[in-house]
Amino acid sequence: MSSASHKKRTYEKGVWAEHRAALYLSRRGYRIIARRYKTKFGEIDLIAAKGDVLAIVEVKARQKLEDALEAVDMKTQRRIVNATLNFLAEHPAYADHAIRFDVIAVENLVRIVHLDNAWEAGP
């Protein structure tokens, strides 16, 4: 498999996993605010609201659940926190929401595991 076709397949797998994660959240009463929200700090996969909670969701598609969870390292967490601050600055209507950082792991593109409050933004 060429490098270009591997990248395309990986991209498509990620898009599919994000689609599945958005459906999962919608069925649980969340309203999807944004998908693939781009900032100068990077991208937020999903932003979803339920009540007064704004869930910032990182979606990972992996063969094993453990690999998906390990992929959200400290560097990724910092990037997402900074992107979230950027989102809130651009969308002040959400400033009064409680912010929660979640991970949704899509194992083998089938099984979904939702880890809410996966980490905190810190001081």
Question: pLDDT (tens digit, 9 = 90+) per residue, 17-54?
Answer: 999 999 999 999 999 999 999 999 999 999 999 999 99
Instruction: State pLDDT tens for residues 56-100.
Output: 999 999 887 778 778 899 999 999 999 999 999 999 999 999 999
Read off the CATH number of the domain in which 91 is found.
3.40.1350.10
The pLDDT value given to residue 108 = 81
Number of domains in the chain: 1
Range of the domain at 44: 3-119
Contacts 24+ apart (CB under 8 A), 6-15: 13/61, 13/109, 14/59, 14/61
Would you say 78 and 120 are in contact if contact means Cβ atoms under 8 Å apart? no
